[in-house]
Amino acid sequence: MSNGPLMPKATAVWLVDNTSLSFEQIADFCKLHPLEVKGIADGEVAAGIKGLDPIVAGQLTRAEIEKAERDRDYRLKLAVSSVRIPEQKRKKGPRYTPLSRRQDRPNAILWLLRNHPELKDAQIMRLVGTTKTTIQQIRERTHWNAASLAPMDPVTLGLCSQIDLDFEVAKAAKDRPAAVEESGQTLLPAEVTTAKEPVAAPFASLNAPREEEEKIDAESVFAKLKTVKRRDYEDDEE
């Protein structure tokens, strides 16, 4: 079996003193080396350790021990406890921070605010184990030690793991809406940019005066021709 008794050496001391099990059987059950069990029997190992009765502790049964004593090749099996201990769920709340690291939390908060502004206050609270009030004070530079704060990576400080930080950053990026350009301009569709450009409207206004000028020039030319013909006609009569 992969799991052994809770107190292996104390259990081995009791088994050596109260059973006729072999060193190999005891070593296998207690997850010890056979030579270590022999040292317990010789009084060289585990001196001063009081033996723990595995039957009283619910780790072995009397029938299991007697079966192993009759068969040297039999290996003891750990008894399954009939009492089920419910698994304790982790309470939601700020992460516990050791006392030696608490003075570094403001620097870590400042680093997160500068390098990952997309993080929500609740995410920062989970990462470094702080309060929303402290985050707000550091953001608004009203913290009592704001002048001395220096941004420091919380992973380097040991306040959180890189995996936790990457997870929160990825979660914040996923919830973040798509960025909008400040200019408000968007790209034109391909069919618009690749289409042939029509004649711009301003050129039409330039063509109108030219046509009017040509019309005026034509009238003046015809007037001059009439004047010339009239003169020629008068000269011929003379």
Percent above pLDDT 70 for the chain: 63
pLDDT exceeds cutoff 90 at 18:
yes
pLDDT, position 174: 81
**DSSP collapsed to 3 states, the chain:** CCCCCCCHHHHHHHHHHHCCCCHHHHHHHHCCCHHHHHHHHHCCCCCCCCCCCCCCCCCCCHHHHHHHHHCCCCCCCCCCCCCCCCCCCCCCCCCCCCHHHHHHHHHHHHHHHHHCCCCCHHHHHHHHCCCHHHHHHHHCCCCCCHHHCCCCCHHHHCCCCHHHHHHHHHHHHHHCCCCCCCCCCCCCCHHHHCCCCCCCHHHHHHHHHHHHHHHHHHHHHHHHHHHHHHHHHHHHHC
pLDDT of 22 reads: 92
Q: What is the pLDDT of residue 138?
A: 92
What's the pLDDT band for 193 if we cut at 50, 70, 90?
low
21-57 per-position pLDDT tens digit: 999 999 999 999 999 999 888 888 877 788 889 988 8
pLDDT digits (tens, 9 = 90+) for 91-141: 555 555 555 556 788 999 999 999 999 999 999 999 988 889 999 999 999
- pTM value is 0.38
